[in-house]
Structure 1
Amino acid sequence: MNSGQLPLAGKHVLITRGSEQGEKFCMNVASKGGIPYMVPLIDFRAHEDINGPLFIKNIAQYDWIIFTSKNGVDYFFQHIQGHIDQSQFRESNIQFAVVGEKTREALDRYKLPSRFMPNVYTAEDFAREYFERELSAKRVLIPKGNLASKTIAESFRSHHIVADEWIVYDTYYPTEKTDNLIQLLTEDQLDIVAFTSPSTFNHFKKIIDQYHLDNHAKKIEIATIGTVTKRAVEQAGYEVSVCPQTFTIDSMFAELCTYFTENANERKL
């Protein structure tokens, strides 16, 4: 296989997401000749919201349950386990909405259909498209992470709809591999770093600032998923080289390959 078929040949790629998604990203990078380094800068754990029992008790009062992430789906069902049977949802009038396709796939695994998903996977577009379609609701429940925005809830409230936000999981920075990250940065080993959320970038920037590594970090190209993550990076004074139109890790990987292929072609001219 020649270098033309290996667009990431010799490229050192930092992957800041762990778990199955991070592992898959690593394998994809390696399959195209890249050298992946998985240093998770984000992790998740269940959050015990004081209002959780009340949300569970009153679940039948909601017209819609709105999921803003795959984690929101999984932790929601973890919290209701033993309290609500999934079959109750299929027999009720509750409808489900999701922000993007990965969230929809997560809901599909619980054998529940999503009635609404925006064309662009952001909270802003969700809020706009939902009301453009003139869908109706009197009360909605939004299971979410502790760092998720209030954009969707505030949009519903502005339309005089009750929007309850249930914090079902916490996002935090796992410190186990901080030393690995510092070494990669100080030795200037990395060509590009992929950020999957504002949280992954913010945790990265925290390390940069704490250990005075800004000069090293500025040498690395940056890929992001989503306009919110891109904005966070740019507001911190960094440039984003890759940001796919579809906000998924698979699209980011495809865009990475395209980016380095085009760069290689330009160097040949």
Structure 2
Amino acid sequence: MKHELPLQGKKVLVTRNKSQAQSFGRRVEGLGGEAVLTSLITFRPALSSEQAPLFQAALDEADWLVFTSVNGAKFFFAYLEGHGMTLPAASKVKVAAVGEKTARYLRDRDLPVDLMPDVYVAEQLAEALKQKVSRDDKVAVLKGNLSRDVIQKTLSPLGIDISEWTLYETVPDQRGIHELKEAAARKSFDFVTFTSSSTVHTFMDILKAESKIWAEKGHTVFVSIGPLTKKALSEYGISSYMPSVYTIDGMLETMCRISRKGE
């Protein structure tokens, strides 16, 4: 039974945004675990309606559209639909996506993806673009307010025309923060999972002392989705496990492996 349900009896804290946490929680429960969902951050549109003509012009002129997150892709399509805007013809524009989830979201909406790095981080996406983008190309980067400017810093020195469009911003989820405080007072956790550095910082603002106690006692395992999230945790003196593939599937596999080994 343990191998069929490797998370049997394990309590897993999911700190992801509410709209994205449900599927993560169901996956945990499907593996036998108990998922406790606390949404610490939420997202809201950042691009004003007044910018629609400029944005449409940038899309029409773009040779590349670059999506740095699945949230960027979601807000991109929502903005287009909300403002009656159109996509450039697929034959004219090429599309780059930071990772498989973002690429899948785009393909599901009939937007072919021409480039995706093997490692799902901005640095790898920037390097991949560096090999493909021509000097005369115009590149539109679709991003959130906390996205780093790695792509601009990598491509701009090559003379490539980069325009960055902040489509959404990340803000604290006050209801989720309250739920986290209540959950931490009632429960102990076998795993605490983080899928972004912004969630780490919000979490630590609330439970920094408790997290250090959990880490020192060794009863709680912290799991980061990728290197930036892992680095954010390390800044608070918390070590974490990180999957070799920076996805939810990778995080689940990591937790299952740890549970099987009894670490």
Query: One-letter code of the match for 2:221?
Result: E
Displacement of 1:150 in angstroms is 0.5
Alignment-derived partner of residue 4 in structure 2:
5
Query: One-letter code of the match for 1:213?
Result: E
Displacement of 1:239 in angstroms is 0.9
Q: Deviations over 1:24-75 (max 9, x none)?
A: 2111211222111000112111112564531223322111010011111111
Alignment-derived partner of residue 116 in structure 2:
117
Q: Is the 8 A contact 1:186 1:216 kept in 2?
A: no
Query: Distance in 1 between the 2:139 and 2:70 partners?
Result: 18
Query: Distance in 1 between the 2:232 and 2:68 partners?
Result: 19
Q: Is the 8 A contact 1:184 1:190 kept in 2?
A: no
Q: For the structure 1 residues 178 and 20, does the alpha-carbon distance in structure 2 shift closer, same or farther, using more than 3 Å as the test? A: closer
Displacement of 1:143 in angstroms is 1.1
Q: Is the 8 A contact 1:185 1:217 kept in 2?
A: no
User: What is the TM-score with the length of structure 1 in the denominator?
Assistant: 0.88
Alignment-derived partner of residue 156 in structure 1:
155
Displacement of 1:9 in angstroms is 1.6
Displacement of 1:165 in angstroms is 0.8
Q: Is the 8 A contact 2:13 2:191 kept in 1?
A: yes
Query: Distance in 2 between the 1:143 and 1:130 partners?
Result: 14
Displacement of 1:216 in angstroms is 4.1
Query: One-letter code of the match for 2:86?
Result: D
Q: Is the 8 A contact 1:208 1:214 kept in 2?
A: yes
Q: Is the 8 A contact 2:212 2:238 kept in 1?
A: no
Could you say what secondary structure the match of 1:7 adopts? coil
Alignment-derived partner of residue 262 in structure 1:
261
Query: Distance in 2 between the 1:62 and 1:115 partners?
Result: 14
Q: Deviations over 1:83-130 (max 9, x none)?
A: 4334x4235x11111110101011112201111111111111111222
Alignment-derived partner of residue 233 in structure 1:
233
Query: One-letter code of the match for 1:190?
Result: F
**Quick one: percent identity of the two aligned structures?**
32
Q: For the structure 1 residues 156 and 190, does the alpha-carbon distance in structure 2 shift closer, same or farther, using more than 3 Å as the test? A: same
Q: What stretches of structure 1 of length at least 5 have no aligned partner?
A: 265-269
Alignment-derived partner of residue 73 in structure 1:
73
Q: Deviations over 1:133-158 (max 9, x none)?
A: 34325211111101011101211112
Q: Deviations over 1:140-198 (max 9, x none)?
A: 11111010111012111121111111010111110103233223323451121100010
User: What is the TM-score with the length of structure 2 in the denominator?
Assistant: 0.90
Query: Distance in 1 between the 2:143 and 2:101 partners?
Result: 15
Q: For the structure 1 residues 34 and 78, does the alpha-carbon distance in structure 2 shift closer, same or farther, using more than 3 Å as the test? A: same
Q: Is the 8 A contact 1:52 1:166 kept in 2?
A: no
Displacement of 1:226 in angstroms is 0.8
Query: Distance in 2 between the 1:21 and 1:143 partners?
Result: 20
Aligned-residue Cα RMSD (Å) equals 1.9
Query: One-letter code of the match for 1:85?
Result: T
Displacement of 1:224 in angstroms is 0.7
Q: Does 1:213 align with 2:214?
A: no
Query: Distance in 2 between the 1:5 and 1:79 partners?
Result: 43
Alignment-derived partner of residue 134 in structure 2:
136
Could you say what secondary structure the match of 1:260 adopts? helix
Task: Write the mapping of 1:1-269 to structure 2, written as runs, cut at 5 A.
Answer: 2-49=1-48, 51-81=51-81, 82-86=83-87, 88-91=88-91, 93-131=92-130, 133-137=131-135, 138-209=137-208, 212-218=209-215, 219=217, 220-240=220-240, 242-263=241-262
Query: Distance in 2 between the 1:217 and 1:162 partners?
Result: 48
Q: How many residues align?
A: 257
Could you say what secondary structure the match of 1:14 adopts? strand
Q: Is the 8 A contact 2:212 2:237 kept in 1?
A: no
